[in-house]
C-alpha cells in the first residue's frame, strides 16, 4: 500500500459456509473493494471465539470484522445463535473497557450476498481509515488524556441491636449438632480476624472447636469458594452462607461442580456486611436478605430498605466518559495489577483446574504483569464470569491493588440481564445464558 | 523444524493479471520455515500437481501452501496431490489469492502486497497443522423405520428391496396409516386401498422386513451407524403366531353388538363403533386382532372371556405382557406422519357441537366403500343423504388467530376431490366450496380443480364463512363471496371443514429422543431446506413424509424413497468415513461443567468417567463422539479452560494467523 493515507489492517473472522462463500462470490462477480481485510476462515461463527477478537486487537489490528450465516441459515443449526449471544456481551465489555465501538463490526453475509460483502468491506475500511490508527497499543494508556477518578458516597451501616449475637449462638448450636451427630466432617464458618473489626474463614471439625466461630458484620468472605474443593477431613462439609454466597452455589450446581446433597448449608439471614466502616456498597440495594437454598435459615432479616446501588452510579459515570478516558481509567487500574491471581483464588466460580491464564500452548494471555498481559487477563476473567458472576464482591475484596473489578462484573451482569433477562445464581435448573439462545435474541448491532 | 512449500498459481491470467506471482514467490521464500517457493501458470493442471509432488519429495516438505483459487474450488484436488506424494492431506492449506484478491482488487501493488500477506497467514497456520486421519465408524447395515403409513412403508420396501434389513415399527395395531383411510386419491381418483393394500402385504411378506405393530420406540442410544433402539411391543393379548384372522372373536365380543357398543371406531374417526377385541379395518396388516383393555369386560371386571372361548386357534391370551426388545440399527427413518386438527377445535364453525359438521378425514370415511355407510354419503346425525354440502377450506390453516399460520398444502386438492366424489355419489346434490386461494400446483392438479368446478358443478366461493348455525335440521352457513362482493347464505345438510394438518402429538418428544430439531408446531426439521431435505442434523436420522411438513402422497412417497436411498448409500460401506476435523477434549484439564454439551447442536458430547487404578471415580469429563461430531467448534469456543480443540481449526492455528496479520 503505497499511498500516503493511513491503510488500516482489518482482521475478518468469517464462517466457511456463508460469508467465506459470499466473499468468493464477490470475487467471481469481480466486485472491487479495498485490499485491507485479511480473512481468517473458521467453520462456523460458533467457533469464532470473542477472544479471537481480543487477540486480534492485542496483536495490533486496527479493526475487526466478524461475519457468518444469517439467523436460521447456520450450517450447524445454531452456531450463529450461540455466537450472537457471546458477541452481545463481549462487545459491550470492550466498549466498557474503552475500545472504540467503531472498530468492531458484526454482520450476517450469506453465500449469495457477494454485493453485501464487497460493500461491507468498503464501509469497514473507510470507517477505520477515518478513525485513524489506534491511539495506543493493547494495554497501554492513551497519551495526554487524564484518567478520571471515581468514588462512591458511603452508606452508613445499621443492624438491629443484638441480632448478630443471637444468630451467632444459633449458628454455633447448629454447627455443634452437625459435627456431634457425624452429619458433617467439617464446618466452614468465620472466626475473629487478626485485627479488630475483621473476620476470616475458619475450618472446624470437632464440636469443641465450634466456639471459635463468629457471626458479625465483618463476615464478608464468600465461603462458597470452598464448596467445590475436596475437604481435608473426611465427611461432608457444612458452609455458613449469606444469601449472596448461596447464589454461588446455584452456579456451581448448574455447572455440575457439586450436587446439592454434597453440602449442608447453614443459611444466615443477612443485614449486610461492613466495608471500611460503612455498609458494603453491594449490600445497599440488595433485595435478597434470606437464603433460599439453605437447610436451616438462622435469624430473621431486616426488610431491605430501598437504597440505590451506589455502584450503578459509578458505572454510569464510566459510560459517560469518552472512550479514551474510559480506556485510561482501566489502564490506570490495571497497571497496578500484579498478576497475583488473588481475584481468581477468591472467586467461588473460578473452578477450572487449569486456568486459561496458565495455558501456555497457545498463550491466550500474555504472561508478564504488564499492560497487555494485565488487560487481557482482566478481560478474560470478566468475560468468563459474564452471566455467572453473582456479585459476591470477593474478587474486589481480595485484590491487593484495589482494582475495582466489581465494576466490570456488575456491568456485564447488567448486560446479561438487559439482553437475556437472566440473573446469575437464582435458579439451579436454568440454562446458563451463554449455553442457550433464543431465535429472537436482539441483534441491533449486527448488520 | 517446519519445511513448508509454497506454490503460487497464476491461474492463467486470472491471478497473474493483478498479482505479481513471481514476487509473491520470492517473498514467500524469505518467510521463516519456508523451504521452497515457486510460481506456476496452472497449479491445478497435471504438470502443476506433479510440480508439487516432486517438490514434496525433493525438499522433504512438512507442509504445503497452495496460493491459488478458493479452497471451495480446489482444496480436495490439492489434498489429494499432497497425499500422492506421501504427505498427510491435512498438511495442505490454501491461500485464496484469486476470489479474495486478484479478482477484487485492481491495484497491482496493493493486490500483490495482500497476496504476500495471505500467503504468510497460511504459512504460519500450516506450521501448526497436524496429520489427521479420517475417522472410520462401523456401520450396522440394518435400518429402523418409525411409522407404518405410506411414507414408512415406501421407505421400508425400498431399503428392503435394496438388500438391507429393515425394522418397521408402527404404533397402531395395523400398518397403513392415513392413506388406508382415504377413499380415492387426487388427481387420478384411483382407490386408495387398492393401491395401498398390496404394498402393506408386501411389507408383511418381505424377507428383509421385521414388522412390529402395536409397538413404540422407547429409547434411542448411539449414533450414526450404531444406534441401539429400545422398542416396546405392547401386549395385544392375541398370539400373532397362532391367530388365523378368522374374525370369530370380534363377532362374538359382547361389547361389539352394533346397537349397544359405545366404543368409537378410531379408523372411522368415531363415525362407527367397534368391539373391544378388534382388527382396525378388514385389510389390516397384520390381520390379528388386539384387545382394547380399557373397554374389555374381562380386563375391567374379570367377567366375560368369550373371545378366548370361541377362538378356534386358542390365540387369545389375557396374560400376555408388554415385551421390550433392543435392536441394533445403523440408520433411522422417521415417518410418523400427521394428524388433522379435529373439527371440534373450530368451535365457531360448530365443530364438536353439530354432528353434521365434520372434518375432511371423516368425509373420506363416508365416501369409502369400506366406511361406516358402505360408501353411501349419509350424514352422521340422521343418516339422511345430504343434498347440499358446504366445504370450508383453510379451517385452521393460514389462520394466525385460531389455528396455524402455515398452509396445510393438501386441502385445496382434497376439497376439490370431495366435491367431485360427492357429486359422483349424489348426482342431484350441490357442493359449495368456500376458499381463500386455490393452491393446485402439481402435475394435473389445476386441471383437476378446474374439472371439479367446470364439469362437476361445484360452486367455488372466494371468501370466509362468518357464521354457522343450526336451523330446522339444516346448517345455515353465512359468508361472503368476495369476488362478487355479495353476502352468501347457504342452507346445508352437511358441512365439511378442511382442518389444518398438524404434527403428531408426541412428535416433539420423539424429536428430542432422536436429537432432531423441530419447529414450533412439532414438525421435524430437515438439515437444509433445499439441499438436504431428507437428512436431519442428527447424523443417520432421515425424514420421510408429513412428519417434516404437510405433504401429499406423491411427495411423501418421493421423500420416502429419497430417505431410503440415503440409507442405502450409508449402508453401501461396512465402515463410514468421516472428516477428521472434529473436536477433541483434553481430559486432564476438563472439569466436567458440560457447557459444551449444552451448546452442541448434535448431541456429540458424552460423559466419560475417569477412575484411578482402584476404580475410584476421580471425575466425570466430556468426551466427543467422533461419529456424531460435525466439527462446528461451538464447544471449543464455550470451554472456559480451553480444554477443547477443534482439529483443523485449533487455537494455535488461529493465533498463528492473527499474529501473522500484525507483522
Residue with grid cell 477505520, as numbered in its chain: A128
C-alpha torsion angle, residues A125, A129, A132, A133 (rounded to 10): 50
First to last CA, chain A: 28
Please name the member of B110, B632, B638 whose beta carbon is closest to the beta carbon of A435: B638
Each residue of B269-295: b (16+ CB within 10 Å) or e? bebbbbbbbbbbbebbbbbbbbbbeeb
Q: Is residue A96 part of a domain?
A: no
C-beta of residue B140 within 8 angstroms of C-beta of residue B583: no
Nearest CA in chain B to A18: B72
Q: What is the pLDDT of residues B539-576, one digit of tens each?
A: 899 999 999 999 999 999 999 999 999 999 999 998 98
3-state secondary structure of A402: coil
- Domain of A175 in residue numbering reads as 163-298
Q: Would you call B658 and A21 a contact, using CB atoms and an 8 Å cutoff?
A: no
Task: Kindly list the averaged pLDDT for each block of 10 residues, start to end, along chain A of length 447.
Answer: 76 95 93 96 96 95 96 88 96 96 95 94 96 92 85 77 89 96 95 93 95 94 91 90 95 93 93 87 88 89 76 93 94 95 95 91 89 95 96 94 95 96 94 95 93
Give B416-481 as a DSSP string.
HHHHHHHHHHSTT-EEEEEES-----STTHHHHHHHHHHTS-PEEEES-EEEEEEETTEEEEEEEE
Nearest chain B alpha carbon to A434: B638
Residues 260-279 of A with CB under 8 A from B: none
Q: Note whether B365 and B184 are within 8 A (CB).
A: no
User: What are the extents of the domains in chain B?
Assistant: 4-127, 134-233+323-336+517-574, 235-321, 338-502, 583-647
Q: Which fold has domain B134-233+323-336+517-574?
A: FAD/NAD(P)-binding domain (3.50.50)
Beta-bridged to residue B291, according to DSSP, are: B277
pLDDT of residue A309: 86
Looking at the complex, report in whole angstroms how far the Cα of residue B69 sits from the nearest Cα belonging to chain A.
9
d(CA B39, CA B66): 10
Buried b (16+ CB within 10 A) or exposed e, B628-655: bbbbbbbbbbbbbbbbbbbbbbbbbbbb
Secondary structure (H, E, C), B97-130: CHHHHHCCCCCHHHHHHHHHHHHHHHHHHHHCCC
Contact B104 A384 (CB under 8 A): no
- B331 bridge partner residues: B143
pLDDT at A302: 74
Query: Can B134-233+323-336+517-574 and B338-502 be said to share one CATH topology?
Result: yes
* Whether the Cβ atoms of residue B49 and residue B81 lie closer than 8 Å to each other: yes
Torsion of CA A115, A121, A125, A126, to 10 degrees: 20
Q: In whole angstroms, what separates CA B301 from the centre of its chain?
A: 44
- Specify the fold of B4-127: Rossmann fold (3.40.50)
Task: Concatenate the DSSP letters of all residues of B542-610 into one string.
Answer: EE-GGGTS---HHHHHHHHHHHHHHHHHHTTSSEEEE-S--EEE-TTT-----HHHHH-TT--EEEEEE
Enter the C-alpha cell of residue B406. 402455515
Residue A85 near residue A43, CB atoms below 8 Å = no
Contact A49 B637 (CB under 8 A): yes
* CATH of B338-502 among 3.30.1360.20, 2.60.120.10, 2.40.110.10, 3.50.50.60: 3.50.50.60
Judge whether B280 and B173 are in contact, CB under 8 Å: yes
CA distance B43 to chain A (A): 19
What is the pLDDT at residue B663? Answer: 59
Q: Is residue A98 part of a domain?
A: no
| Count of domains forming chain A | 1
In a domain, A294, yes or no: yes
Strand-strand pairing, B474-481 and B486-492:
antiparallel
CA gyration radius for chain B? 32
All 3 cell numbers of residue B360? 375432511
* Cα gap B464→B482, rounded to integer Å: 9
Please judge whether A1 and B110 are an interchain contact, meaning their C-beta atoms are less than 8 angstroms apart.
Answer: yes
Between CA B27 and CA B7 the distance in angstroms is 12
- A11, A35, A57, A439: best to mutate for the B interface, most B CBs within 10 A: A35
Matching CATH number, B583-647, of 3.30.428.10, 3.90.420.10, 3.50.50.100, 3.30.70.3270: 3.30.70.3270
Low-confidence ranges of chain B (pLDDT < 70): 258-259, 663
Mutate: best of B642, B644, B652, partner A, most A CBs <10 A: B642
Report which secondary-structure segment, H or E, holds B291: strand B290-291
> With contacts defined as CB-CB under 8 Å, which chain A residues touch B114?
35, 38
Residues of chain A in contact with residue B592, where contact means CB-CB under 8 angstroms, are 256
Give how far Cα B572 sits from Cα of A187, B138, B162, B567, Å. Answer: 63, 12, 10, 9
Residue window 9-38, chain A: list those with CB within 8 Å of chain B.
9, 11, 20-21, 23-24, 26-28, 30-33, 35, 38
**Yes or no, beta carbons of A48 and B111 under 8 Å apart:** no
Is there a contact between A32 and B637 if contact means CB atoms under 8 Å apart? no
Of the candidates A32, A44, A435, which has its C-beta nearest B632's C-beta?
A44
Helices B651-662 and A50-58 meet at what angle, rounded to 10? 30
HEC letters along B347-415: HHHCCCCCCCEEEHHHHHHHHCCCCCCCCCCCCCCCCCCCCEEEEEEEECCCCCCCCCCCCCCCHHHHH
Contact A20 B72 (CB under 8 A): yes
The pLDDT tens digits for B204-256 are 999 999 999 999 999 998 888 999 999 999 999 999 999 999 999 999 998 87
A329 domain-assigned: no
pLDDT of residue A2: 44
* ipTM for the assembly: 0.93
Which whole-number Å values give the CA distances from B83 to A197, B33, B34, B44, B65, in the listed order?
A: 72, 21, 19, 15, 14
Residue B515: its pLDDT value, please?
80
H or E stretch including B154?
helix B150-161
Q: Is residue A376 within 8 Å of residue A139, measured between CB atoms?
A: yes
Q: Considering only residues 64 to 103 of chain A, which have any Cβ-Cβ distance to chain B shorter than 8 Å?
A: 75-79, 82-83, 86
Residue A251 domain-assigned?
A: yes
User: Does A24 fall in a domain?
Assistant: no
In a domain, A62, yes or no: no
B525 contact residues in A (CB cutoff 8 A) = 77
Contact B649 A431 (CB under 8 A): no
Amino acid at each position: 500500500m503505497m499511498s500516503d493515507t493511513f491503510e488500516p489492517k482489518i482482521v475478518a473472522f468469517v464462517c466457511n459456509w456463508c460469508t467465506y462463500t459470499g466473499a468468493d462470490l464477490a470475487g467471481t462477480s469481480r466486485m472491487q473493494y479495498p485490499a485491507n481485510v485479511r480473512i481468517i476462515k473458521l467453520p462456523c461463527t460458533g467457533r469464532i471465539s470473542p477472544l479471537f477478537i481480543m487477540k486480534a486487537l492485542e496483536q495490533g489490528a486496527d479493526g475487526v470484522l466478524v461475519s457468518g450465516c444469517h439467523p436460521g441459515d447456520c450450517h450447524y443449526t445454531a452456531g450463529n445463535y450461540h455466537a450472537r449471544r457471546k458477541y452481545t456481551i463481549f462487545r459491550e465489555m470492550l466498549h466498557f473497557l474503552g475500545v472504540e465501538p467503531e472498530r468492531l463490526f458484526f454482520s450476517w453475509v450469506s453465500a449469495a450476498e457477494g454485493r453485501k460483502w464487497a460493500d461491507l468491506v468498503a464501509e469497514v475500511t473507510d470507517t477505520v481509515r477515518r478513525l485513524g490508527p489506534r491511539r495506543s497499543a493493547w494495554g497501554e494508556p492513551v497519551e495526554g488524556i487524564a484518567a478520571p477518578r471515581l468514588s462512591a458516597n458511603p452508606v452508613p451501616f445499621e443492624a438491629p441491636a443484638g441480632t448478630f449475637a443471637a444468630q451467632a449462638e444459633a449458628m454455633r448450636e447448629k454447627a455443634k449438632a452437625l459435627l456431634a451427630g457425624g452429619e458433617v466432617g467439617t464446618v466452614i464458618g468465620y472466626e475473629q480476624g487478626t485485627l479488630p473489626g475483621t473476620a476470616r474463614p475458619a475450618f472446624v471439625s470437632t464440636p469443641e472447636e465450634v466456639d471459635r466461630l463468629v457471626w458479625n458484620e465483618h463476615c464478608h468472605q464468600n465461603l462458597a469458594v470452598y464448596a467445590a474443593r475436596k475437604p481435608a477431613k473426611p465427611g461432608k462439609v457444612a458452609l455458613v452462607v449469606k444469601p449472596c454466597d448461596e447464589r454461588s452455589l446455584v452456579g456451581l450446581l448448574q455447572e455440575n461442580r457439586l450436587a446439592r446433597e454434597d453440602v449442608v448449608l447453614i443459611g444466615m439471614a443477612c443485614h449486610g456486611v461492613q466495608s471500611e466502616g460503612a455498609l458494603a456498597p453491594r449490600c445497599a440495594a440488595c433485595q435478597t436478605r434470606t437464603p433460599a437454598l439453605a437447610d436451616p435459615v438462622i435469624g430473621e432479616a431486616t426488610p431491605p430498605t430501598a437504597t440505590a446501588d451506589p455502584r450503578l452510579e459509578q458505572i454510569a459515570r464510566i459510560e459517560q466518559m469518552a472512550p479514551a478516558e474510559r480506556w485510561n481509567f482501566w489502564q490506570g487500574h490495571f497497571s497496578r495489577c500484579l498478576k497475583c491471581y488473588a481475584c481468581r483464588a477468591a472467586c467461588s466460580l473460578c473452578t477450572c483446574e487449569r486456568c486459561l491464564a496458565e495455558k501456555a500452548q497457545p498463550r491466550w494471555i500474555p504472561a508478564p504483569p504488564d499492560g497487555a498481559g494485565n488487560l487481557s487477563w482482566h478481560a478474560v476473567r470478566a468475560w468468563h464470569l459474564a452471566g455467572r458472576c453473582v456479585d459476591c464482591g470477593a474478587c474486589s475484596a481480595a485484590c491487593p491493588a484495589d482494582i475495582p473489578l466489581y465494576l466490570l462484573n456488575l456491568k456485564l451482569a447488567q448486560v446479561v440481564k438487559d439482553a437475556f433477562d437472566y440473573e446469575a445464581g437464582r435458579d439451579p435448573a436454568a440454562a446458563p445464558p451463554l449455553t442457550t439462545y433464543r431465535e429472537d435474541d436482539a441483534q441491533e448491532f449486527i448488520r | 523444524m517446519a519445511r513448508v512449500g509454497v506454490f503460487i498459481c497464476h491461474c492463467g491470467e486470472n491471478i497473474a493479471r493483478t498479482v505479481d506471482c513471481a514476487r509473491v514467490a520470492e517473498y514467500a521464500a524469505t518467510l521463516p520455515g519456508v523451504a521452497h517457493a515457486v510460481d506456476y501458470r496452472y497449479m491445478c493442471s497435471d504438470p502443476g500437481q506433479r510440480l508439487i509432488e516432486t517438490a514434496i519429495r525433493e525438499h522433504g516438505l512438512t507442509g504445503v501452501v497452495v496460493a491459488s483459487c478458493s479452497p471451495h474450488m480446489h482444496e480436495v484436488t490439492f489434498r489429494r496431490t499432497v497425499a500422492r506424494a506421501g504427505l498427510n492431506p491435512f498438511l495442505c492449506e490454501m491461500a485464496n489469492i484469486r476470489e479474495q484478491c486478484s479478482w477484487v482488487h485492481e491495484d497491482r501493488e496493493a493486490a500483490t502486497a495482500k497476496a504476500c500477506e495471505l500467503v504468510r497467514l497460511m504459512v504460519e497456520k500450516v506450521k501448526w497443522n497436524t496429520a489427521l486421519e479420517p475417522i472410520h465408524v462401523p456401520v450396522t447395515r440394518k435400518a429402523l423405520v418409525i411409522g407404518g403409513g405410506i411414507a414408512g412403508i415406501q421407505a421400508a420396501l425400498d431399503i428392503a428391496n435394496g438388500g438391507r434389513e429393515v425394522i418397521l415399527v408402527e404404533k397402531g395395531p395395523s400398518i397403513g396409516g392415513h392413506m388406508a383411510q382415504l377413499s380415492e386419491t387426487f388427481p387420478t381418483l384411483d382407490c386408495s386401498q387398492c393401491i395401498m393394500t398390496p404394498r402393506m402385504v408386501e411389507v408383511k411378506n418381505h424377507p428383509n422386513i421385521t414388522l412390529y405393530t402395536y409397538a413404540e420406540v422407547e429409547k434411542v442410544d448411539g449414533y450414526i451407524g450404531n444406534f441401539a433402539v429400545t422398542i416396546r411391543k405392547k401386549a395385544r393379548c392375541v398370539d400373532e403366531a397362532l391367530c388365523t384372522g378368522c374374525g370369530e372373536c370380534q363377532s362374538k365380543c359382547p361389547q361389539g353388538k352394533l346397537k349397544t357398543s359405545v366404543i368409537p371406531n378410531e379408523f372411522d374417526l368415531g363415525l362407527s363403533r367397534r368391539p373391544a377385541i378388534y382388527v382396525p379395518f378388514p385389510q389390516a396388516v397384520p390381520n390379528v386382532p388386539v384387545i382394547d383393555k380399557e373397554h374389555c369386560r374381562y380386563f375391567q371386571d374379570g367377567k366375560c372371556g368369550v373371545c378366548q372361548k370361541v377362538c378356534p386357534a386358542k390365540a387369545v391370551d389375557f396374560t400376555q405382557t408388554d415385551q421390550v426388545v433392543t435392536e441394533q440399527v445403523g440408520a433411522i427413518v422417521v415417518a410418523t406422519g400427521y394428524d388433522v386438527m379435529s373439527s371440534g377445535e373450530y368451535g365457531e364453525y360448530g365443530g364438536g357441537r353439530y354432528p353434521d359438521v365434520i372434518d375432511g378425514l371423516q368425509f373420506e370415511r363416508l365416501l369409502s366403500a369400506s366406511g361406516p355407510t358402505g360408501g353411501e354419503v349419509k350424514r352422521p346425525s340422521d343418516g339422511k343423504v345430504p343434498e347440499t354440502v358446504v366445504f370450508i377450506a383453510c379451517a385452521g390453516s393460514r389462520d394466525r388467530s385460531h389455528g396455524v399460520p402455515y398452509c396445510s398444502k393438501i386441502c385445496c386438492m382434497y376439497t376439490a376431490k370431495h366435491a367431485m366424489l360427492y357429486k359422483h355419489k349424489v348426482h342431484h346434490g350441490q357442493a359449495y366450496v368456500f376458499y381463500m386461494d386455490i393452491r393446485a400446483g402439481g402435475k394435473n392438479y389445476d386441471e383437476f380443480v378446474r374439472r371439479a368446478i367446470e364439469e362437476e358443478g361445484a360452486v367455488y366461493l372466494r371468501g370466509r364463512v362468518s357464521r354457522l348455525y343450526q336451523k330446522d335440521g339444516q346448517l345455515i352457513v353465512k359468508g361472503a363471496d368476495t369476488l362478487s362482493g355479495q353476502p352468501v347464505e347457504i342452507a346445508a345438510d352437511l358441512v365439511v371443514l378442511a382442518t389444518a394438518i398438524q404434527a403428531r402429538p408426541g412428535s416433539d418428544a420423539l424429536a428430542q429422543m432422536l436429537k432432531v430439531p423441530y419447529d414450533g408446531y412439532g414438525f421435524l426439521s430437515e438439515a437444509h431446506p433445499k439441499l438436504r431435505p431428507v437428512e436431519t442434523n442428527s447424523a443417520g436420522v432421515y425424514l420421510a413424509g408429513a412428519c417434516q411438513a404437510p405433504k401429499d402422497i406423491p411427495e411423501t412417497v418421493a421423500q420416502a424413497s429419497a430417505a431410503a436411498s440415503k440409507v442405502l448409500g450409508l449402508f453401501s460401506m461396512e465402515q463410514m468415513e468421516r472428516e477428521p476435523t472434529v473436536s477433541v477434549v483434553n481430559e486432564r484439564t476438563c472439569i466436567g461443567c458440560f457447557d459444551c454439551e449444552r451448546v452442541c447442536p448434535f448431541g456429540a458430547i458424552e460423559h466419560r468417567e475417569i477412575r484411578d487404578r482402584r476404580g475410584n471415580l476421580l471425575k466425570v469429563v466430556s468426551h466427543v463422539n467422533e461419529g456424531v461430531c460435525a466439527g462446528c467448534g461451538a464447544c471449543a469456543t464455550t470451554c472456559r479452560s480451553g480444554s477443547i480443540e477443534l482439529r483443523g481449526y485449533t487455537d494455535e492455528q488461529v493465533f498463528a494467523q492473527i499474529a501473522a496479520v500484525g507483522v
